[in-house]
Structures are given as structure tokens and as C-alpha cells.
């Protein structure tokens, strides 16, 4: 059994009462945090999770809505951590790590403490990478098509044996690209960004600003053979119209489509 907690689901400037996209994946004793926007400490607190429980943090890319909380989270470890605490392993591309180090440097300067001791796994930005974080948990990182300034990676998580056979996939921020079907091949759950709506803004149908529409998300879910599709990172201008985006994706994809609310916990049971 694995659990996915949607800590936040919003775009860079989120809807009222919402925050930026971040997810916590719970697999056995492993707690994988995906992205670290400016509200990360409050997002974790809202679902009753302490940063002490996090074992890994994966950063999709350097944009502020995905990375600005990094210095604050590291500050938490610096101030709150006891000597026994294992600081989480950080996983990102070299480009993203450069930005994270700059953020830390301008926020609190060198701390020479627990934050600096966090183990790092540097994954490739230009090609597919694989990282085994546990004998039965494989992470696959896949280049997406988002921004030259902030190159982005999607994440595929596969589990087996004692955790059950599960595949879940997260696009992070991305425009349409051929890698998504591979990223989400046979996924039980595809969490796909749908910043825009091709129904409400037909001029954005091909994707725009390195982002996708709900229609594109639906097509990718179908091409990948995914079972469920979560639409996230929906632009704030669509507040109250999430149903339109869900129906837009449903016209392309027969599986279950939903727009998670912040704090939603989804459990995938073993088959």
C-alpha cells in the first residue's frame, strides 16, 4: 500500500486559499517530498507531518513555486533537529542544485550544519535517469519541456514486493512532449499539470508558456495507459471552473479524472 498526500495543488500564483504544488509520497517508512514551494512548512503542518519524517526531497525544477521553500525547510532542520535526526536525501539535477545553493546562500548564508550535511543524488537533466532509493523503490526521472531557464524533470515511482506493485507518475511543470507517455506508462495514477483549459481558452490548445491544458493531460493519460488522472497546477483564473477542465480531460481519457483539493490523501491498495 502506498499513500499520496496532495500538500498543495496550485499554480505559481495559486487560487485563493490554495498553495503551490507539492506532494508527499508515503511508502513503508519512506517519505518522499516532491517540490518545496514557499509554503512548504505550513503545508506539512496542515496534514500533521513533521519535516523530521521526510526521507527524500525531489525537486522538479528551480522555479520559485517549486523551490523557494527550500531554505525555510533547511532552517527547520538547522533549528529543530536533534543529533539523531537523519536529514533527508536531496534529489535534483545539477542545474537545480545550483539554484538551491544560491537560494540558501542569499537567505541564511553558510550554516555549516545539518543542512549542508544532507546527502545528495544528482540526476541527469538531459536524459532519463534511474535511482534506487530502496531495494523495492525505483525512481525514474524524465526530462520534460518547460523552460530553458528552469529545466524540469518528471518523476516516476515504482514499488514492488512488500510495498505492492505500484506505478505513479508526476509530470511537474511541462508543455506537451513525447516523454510523458513513457513517464506514465501503465501508471495507476498520473499527476499531470493542467495549467490551462483548451475549452475556455482555445488559443492555448497546443500548450503555452511551457504548460499544458487539461485536454493535453487527458491525451497523455490515454497514450500512457494510465488508470487515474489528477489535474494540478490549474491557473487561478479558472477558480470555480475546475469541472470544465475535468470534463475536458474526460473527453480524451476513459479513466478516472479528478482535481485534488489541498490536503487530499489518496491510498493505493495492493492488488
Site for Zn ion in 7-26 (CB under 5 A): 12
Write the CB contacts of 141 (distance below 8 Å, at least 6 apart in sequence): 58, 91, 93, 123, 124, 128, 129, 130, 131, 153, 154, 155, 156
137 versus 150: smaller Cβ distance to Zn ion: 150
235 is a site residue for Zn ion (CB under 5 A)? no
Of the candidate spans 70-78, 104-112, 122-130, 172-180, the one that interacts with Zn ion by CB under 5 A turns out to be: 172-180
173 is a site residue for Zn ion (CB under 5 A)? yes
136 versus 201: smaller Cβ distance to Zn ion: 201
The CA distance from 58 to 81, in Å, is 20
Helix (H, G, I), strand (E, B) or coil at 55: coil
Instruction: Work out how close the CB of 11 gets to Zn ion at its nearest, in angstroms, rounded to a whole number.
Output: 6
Query: Which grid cell sits at 187?
Result: 501508471
The CA distance from 177 to 65, in Å, is 22
Binding mask 130-169 for Zn ion (x = CB under 5 A): ----------------------------------------
Write the CB contacts of 232 (distance below 8 Å, at least 6 apart in sequence): 6, 9, 21, 191, 192, 193, 194, 259, 260
12 versus 81: smaller Cβ distance to Zn ion: 12
63 is a site residue for Zn ion (CB under 5 A)? yes
Instruction: Work out how close the CB of 28 gets to Zn ion at its nearest, in angstroms, rounded to a whole number.
Output: 29
56 versus 63: smaller Cβ distance to Zn ion: 63
The CA distance from 222 to 229, in Å, is 9
Which chain residues interact with Zn ion by CB under 5 A? 12, 63, 65, 173
Amino acid at each position: 500500500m502506498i499513500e499520496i498526500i496532495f500538500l498543495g495543488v496550485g499554480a505559481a500564483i495559486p487560487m485563493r486559499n490554495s498553495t503551490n504544488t507539492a506532494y508527499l509520497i508515503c511508502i513503508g517508512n519512506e517519505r518522499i517530498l516532491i517540490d518545496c514551494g514557499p509554503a512548504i512548512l505550513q503545508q506539512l503542518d496542515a496534514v500533521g507531518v513533521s519535516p523530521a519524517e521526510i526521507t527524500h526531497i525531489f525537486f522538479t525544477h528551480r522555479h520559485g513555486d517549486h523551490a523557494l521553500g527550500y531554505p525555510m525547510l533547511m532552517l527547520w532542520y538547522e533549528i529543530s533537529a536533534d543529533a539523531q535526526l537523519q536529514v533527508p536525501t536531496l534529489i535534483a539535477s545539477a542545474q537545480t542544485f545550483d539554484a538551491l545553493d544560491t537560494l540558501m546562500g542569499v537567505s541564511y548564508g553558510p550554516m555549516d550544519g545539518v543542512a549542508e550535511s544532507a546527502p545528495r543524488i544528482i540526476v541527469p537533466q538531459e536524459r532519463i535517469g534511474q535511482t534506487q532509493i530502496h531495494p523495492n523503490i525505483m525512481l525514474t526521472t524524465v526530462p520534460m519541456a518547460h523552460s530553458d531557464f528552469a529545466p524540469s524533470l518528471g518523476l516516476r515511482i515504482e514499488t514492488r514486493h512488500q510495498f505492492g506493485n505500484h506505478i505513479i507518475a508526476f509530470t511537474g511543470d511541462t508543455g506537451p512532449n513525447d516523454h510523458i507517455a513513457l513517464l506514465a506508462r501503465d501508471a495507476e495514477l498520473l499527476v499531470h499539470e493542467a495549467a490551462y483549459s483548451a475549452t475556455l481558452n482555445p488559443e492555448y490548445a497546443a500548450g503555452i508558456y511551457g504548460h499544458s491544458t487539461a485536454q493535453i493531460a487527458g491525451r497523455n493519460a490515454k497514450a500512457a495507459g494510465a488508470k487515474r488522472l489528477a489535474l494540478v497546477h490549474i491557473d487561478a483564473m479558472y477558480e470555480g471552473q475546475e469541472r470544465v477542465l475535468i470534463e475536458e480531460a474526460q473527453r480524451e481519457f476513459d479513466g478516472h479524472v479528478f482535481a485534488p483539493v489541498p490536503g487530499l490523501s489518496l491510498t493505493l491498495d495492493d492488488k
